[in-house]
Structures are given as C-alpha cells and as structure tokens.
Chain A
Amino acid sequence: MPYNATNVSVAAGSKKLINDLSVTVTAGVFSVILGPNGAGKSTLLKVFSNDIKPQCGTVTLDGDPISGLDRNKLARRRAVLPQSSTVTFNFTAYDIVKMGRIPHNESDAASEVVIDEVMALTKTTAFAARQYNTLSGGERQRVQFARVLAQIWPDEEDNEGKYLLLDEPTSALDPLYQIEILNIAKWFAKERGFGVLAVLHDLNQAMSYADDVYLLKQGKLDRHGAPTDVLTEKSIFDLWGIHAELIMREKSKIPSIVPIMNTAHTAAI
C-alpha cells in the first residue's frame, strides 16, 4: 500500500506554491522530484512529511490521511533526512542516532541492537563516540541517515511499509559523499523495500538513481515517468532553459546530460 498525495494544493497568500499535484511513493521505488527553483519541490516534500497541511487534497499512508495518524505511529513509518544539520550542543554521533528511537518508547537495550545495525549499514560505527559537531559534512550526513533509519527501523512483528523522504540530501556534500548517500538510499529501496522520495537538483543523479521522476514547473506537474522518458533535451530546455545534449554511456546504457556551451551568447555579452 503506497504513500499518496492526491490533488494537493498549497498557497501562500494569493500565490500557489503547488497546484493540484498528485504524487505516489511506492515500496521499493526510488522516486525523485525535479524542477527549477521555485517549482514547489520542497513544499511538496513538506506536504508529504506533514510539516504543511495542504489547503486542498489529501496525503494518505495506506489509505489513512496522515493528518489524522498518531504522531509516533507516523514517525515510525516515515522519516525525513534534512539537507544538513548542526546540533546546538555536543552530542556524540551515537546519541544523535539514538534520538531516532524516540518514537519507539523502548528500553535502552532494545535501542542498542537497532543502533548498532543502522550504524554498521551507514558505515558510521567508527565515529560513534566522536562529537557530532567535529565530524565532516559527509560524516554528519551519514550519521543523520543512520538516525532516520533508526527511526523507521521495524520493531518485532512490524511488517508495515517504510518511507524515506530526502530533502536535497546531497546539496552540501562533496561529490564522493553525494554518491554514498544516494547509494545507501537506493540500496534500502532495492533490498529492504523502502519507498524513497527525494528532492534532487542534479539531473544526472536523477537519471542514474531514480526509478520514477516527477518534473514540476511553477507548482504544477509537468511530466511524470521513467527518467529516460521524462528527462529529454526538450523537457530540460522547457523547464530550465538549458540547451543540453544527451550522450548514451556505453557500459550502463544510462544517458548523461551535458549542457551545450553557448559561446555565441557569451560573446554577445
């Protein structure tokens, strides 16, 4: 059973931030929201996370509106990875991950088992005892990833679908760490059947990682489908105003998007 936004609209004053959008996040699928600045990507993610209540439309999890769900129950079903976070006082990386277990109301011993597992999966065990604020940006983001995994990590006899919302998860990171974070997210979609919804900026990352792409333009759904169908020379020009060329990579059979340098235009300036 999926995580659905149906015909949602959000307005700030008279300006519609998102307008009549319908988006589905399915178990095991890595869905990506793309669009130029101001297209409503983050707003849509906030509607999914229940930070913003839409004026029209509903968001449902397995058919139940999320606004009516118990807060802890919702927290155990879906987690949100922020762009980048600083923490006010010096928690250790381990303490940060442990906060993910708050909605589970369990003993420290029970938390410990889950924390050890998610820290091993995110390769953060080595710096468990270090102060979070002394870690590098990439290490912090992996610790945050471990925290959100701990949050939705199933308790015993819990077979409900789990969802990860990623809000530009790579925007503050070095290229290597960007790939690492996306690899982890992709792995959980494929191997653990998590439904993933990510806001990304990098079109090539979307091309490589997404199973399903939603292109937003001025708050509306412009195109929806598999990345290779949706990300075309035409759509890239329509949405971002970029002349681009798609070059097929030989090994992976995934096209690379390469912007065409418009030297004539530059010369005119």
Chain B
Amino acid sequence: MSNTDLMTRTQLKRPSLVTLLCVLLAATVATNVMIGGYGLSLEKIAAIFFSKIGLETGWEYAPHEEGILMSIRLPRVVLAIFVGAALGISGAVLQALFRNPLAEPGLIGVSGGAALFAVSYIVLGSGIVASFMLPAVAFMGGICATVLIYVLSRNAEGDKVATMLLIGIAINAICLAGIGIFQFISDDTQLRLLTFWMMGGLGSATWAGILPTLILVTIGLAVLWRCAVPLNAYLLGISEASHLGIDTKRLTKIIILSVALIVGASVAVSGIIQFVGLIVPHIIRKFSGPDHRILIPASALLGATLTLIADLVARTVVIPAELPIGLVFSAVGGPFFLWLLLQKNRGVKNAL
C-alpha cells in the first residue's frame, strides 16, 4: 500500500467516526429527554421547542410538561453531556501525559482530591453550597492531587509508570479516607447535604446550579483540544517531544491545570464517576488510532453518550428511586478494566 492510499484511508475514516458519534449522541439525547418517570413524546418536545421560538405547531402539550422538559430533563441532559465529555477527555489526556493506558482521573486520585476538598468545604465551610465556590474548591483539590502524583512519580526510581499508578491509587485511598473522616465529624444537616452530594449523581441539576460547571468545562476542553498535536508527540517520550520544539514543562503544567479544572468542575456537581475516563479513550483508539486530534473530540462525544446512557439506566430501572450513576458505571467499567488488563498481558507475551 502506498503512502497516499494510507492517507486517503485515514482521512476518510476520521470525520466519519466523529459524524457517527454525533448521530449517536443526538439519538441518546432524544431518548433521555423522552424517557423518565413521566414520558414525553417527540411531538410534545418539538411543540415546546417550536413555541419557545414563536412557532405554532398545533401539537398540544400541558404546562407541566413544559416544566418537566425545560427545568428537569434538559438541565440534567446538558450536565450529563458536559460531565461525560470532561471525563472522557481527561482520561485521554492523562493517558498521554503519563504514557500509561490505565491512567484515569477516578483511579489515580484526581477525582478523589477534588471530592475531598469539596467535602471539606461542605463540612468546614459555611454549610451553604454556593454555586461557584464548590467547583472552585473541587478544582483546587484536583490540582493538588495531580501535582502531587506527578511530582512524586517523577522522582521515583525504576519503573516510573507502575510507581505513578501506585502513588495515584495511594492518594486516592487517602482522599477517600479523608472524606470518611469528614462524614464522621459532620453534624446531621451537613451529613444530609454530604450524602445528597456524594450520591447525587446528576439528579440535582438546575440551570443555575450547572452554569459554573458548564463554563469551567468549556474553557478546559477548549484548552486541551488545542494541545492535541503536542500530546501526540508526548507518546514518543517527553525528551523526544522536547526535541521536536515543544515546551514540555509548560505544556505539562497546562494539561495538569486543565484536567484538574474540568474534573473538579464535574466532581463538584456529580460526585466521583469512575471508569468513563478509562474506557472511552480505549474504545476510540480501537477505531481511529491514538491521534489526539481525533481522540479528544471523539472521547468527548462518546463520554457524553455513555454518561447519558448510564444516567438513563440510573434513573429508570428503579423508578421512582434512582441508582447512583457511579454505581452503574463501576458495574460495567470494572469488568472492562479486567478485560483491558488481560489484553495488556497478552500483548506483552506477544512482544516477547
């Protein structure tokens, strides 16, 4: 096969994958808006949207149906999209930064750090969950955990990759222990708030409540997408990337800050959701290879889609109650993680 054939093939494949994911996301959004404790037909949804922009369709709907759509379903769907996109991209980017296929914000403590800071703010702070403060504090926690992991694993001797994972897992455990302590010392009101927040998933989404997260995640995603080409070079090795003219110290800082920002902003509204960041980039790489120019947008789309599906399952299987979305993801993500480890071992054997 000549190089030209190869180029044409990959160039065709890339936009079609993104298009497919867009269609998939749109279908999932429609399903999520329609299905729930109270079903909404597509006709009614269309009628509500058209009347919002001043068009009369003739299809009838009740005022409370408009309320369900605009104030309950939509903010939740929008939040799921942003949280899923943030987690999918974080996984893709952390796997490149640490040059490790197992890196993920939930596993290596970034989410844990964000959650610990958020919980400490709820318990030690005024007890009022101000909408901008909680994401900001969670962001600080995410940064602290990421920087700690990076600095400690950089100075490690021997197998840095394994050490990094172990350090991340240790930091995650410490953060979860810290959260436990805060639950223990909190009073009744705080405990209710905490439990509500930890299990909250995406259920508490209101337009005002999710706005800060939407803004922060948008900024972080835009910054990370711009790092796509240098991130490809990171997969060659840090010094190789630096020889290619990339300011690796600066780029690493930008990545750490952006990941902490979007993970912190997500954890602040949805608690810790594991495994999205792990599985999404691996699925995308199976189809389109490791090029971050495709991997980053595709991980955002697939992350959003999977989060919407998980949220749909979480809120419909035990109506009128809800399962925590994290539970749904871990139930599916755990087996996937095992499968991935076994694949990896097989790869090592083949290489020998």
Name A residues whose Cβ lies closer than 8 Å to a Cβ of B. Answer: 49, 51, 71-76, 79-80, 82, 85, 87-92, 94-96, 99-100, 102-103, 108, 112, 115-116, 119, 125, 128-129, 133, 151
* CA of A90 to CA of B232, assembled, Å: 11
Across the interface, B290 reaches (CB within 8 A) one of A90, A108, A151, namely: A90
Cβ-defined contact, A75 with B244, below 8 A: yes
With contacts A51-B242, A90-B290 known, is A112 near B235, CB below 8 A? no
Q: Indicate whether B230 reaches chain A with its CB closer than 8 angstroms.
A: yes
Interface bits B335-352 vs A (CB < 8 Å: 1, else 0): 000000000000000010
CB interface residues, B 301-327, toward A, < 8 Å: none
Q: Indicate whether B1 reaches chain A with its CB closer than 8 angstroms.
A: yes
Residue of A nearest to B98 (CB): A88
Cβ-defined contact, A88 with B3, below 8 A: no
* CA of A96 to CA of B119, assembled, Å: 44
Cβ-defined contact, B3 with A89, below 8 A: no
A221 to chain B, nearest CB (A): 25
Cβ-defined contact, A108 with B7, below 8 A: yes
Across the interface, B245 reaches (CB within 8 A) one of A71, A91, A116, namely: A71
* CA of A44 to CA of B154, assembled, Å: 23
Residue of B nearest to A151 (CB): B244
Residues of A within 8 Å of B7, CB to CB, are 94, 108, 112
Cβ-defined contact, A102 with B230, below 8 A: yes
* CA of A23 to CA of B17, assembled, Å: 52
13 pairs from A and B in contact (CB 8 Å cutoff): A51-B239, A71-B246, A71-B247, A75-B245, A79-B243, A89-B101, A90-B289, A90-B290, A91-B232, A91-B291, A94-B6, A128-B6, A151-B244
A186 to chain B, nearest CB (A): 22
Cβ-defined contact, B285 with A89, below 8 A: yes
Cβ-defined contact, B246 with A82, below 8 A: no
Across the interface, A88 reaches (CB within 8 A) one of B100, B242, B291, B351, namely: B100
Residue of B nearest to A80 (CB): B243
Cβ-defined contact, A91 with B290, below 8 A: yes
Name B residues whose Cβ lies closer than 8 Å to a Cβ of A. Answer: 1-4, 6-7, 11, 95-96, 99-101, 229-230, 232-233, 235-237, 239-240, 242-247, 285, 289-291, 351
Cβ-defined contact, A92 with B289, below 8 A: yes
For the complex of A and B, the 3 pairs showing the least CB-CB separation, nearest first, are: A75-B245, A89-B290, A103-B245
With contacts A90-B289, A100-B244, A102-B244 known, is A112 near B1, CB below 8 A? no
A interface secondary structure, majority: helix
Cβ-defined contact, B239 with A89, below 8 A: no
Cβ-defined contact, B245 with A82, below 8 A: no
Given contacts A82-B239, A90-B285, A99-B233, 18 further A-B contacts (CB under 8 A): A75-B243, A75-B244, A85-B236, A85-B237, A88-B95, A88-B96, A88-B99, A88-B235, A89-B101, A90-B290, A95-B232, A95-B289, A102-B232, A108-B7, A108-B11, A112-B3, A116-B4, A129-B1
B281 to chain A, nearest CB (A): 9
B231 to chain A, nearest CB (A): 11
Across the interface, A112 reaches (CB within 8 A) one of B4, B246, B289, B290, namely: B4
Residue of B nearest to A111 (CB): B7
With contacts A99-B232, A112-B4, A125-B3 known, is A91 near B237, CB below 8 A? no
Cβ-defined contact, B237 with A129, below 8 A: no
A16 to chain B, nearest CB (A): 23
Residue from B2, B11, B96, B240 whose CB has the most chain A CB atoms within 10 Å: B240
Cβ-defined contact, B3 with A128, below 8 A: yes
* CA of A75 to CA of B4, assembled, Å: 26
* CA of A88 to CA of B232, assembled, Å: 10
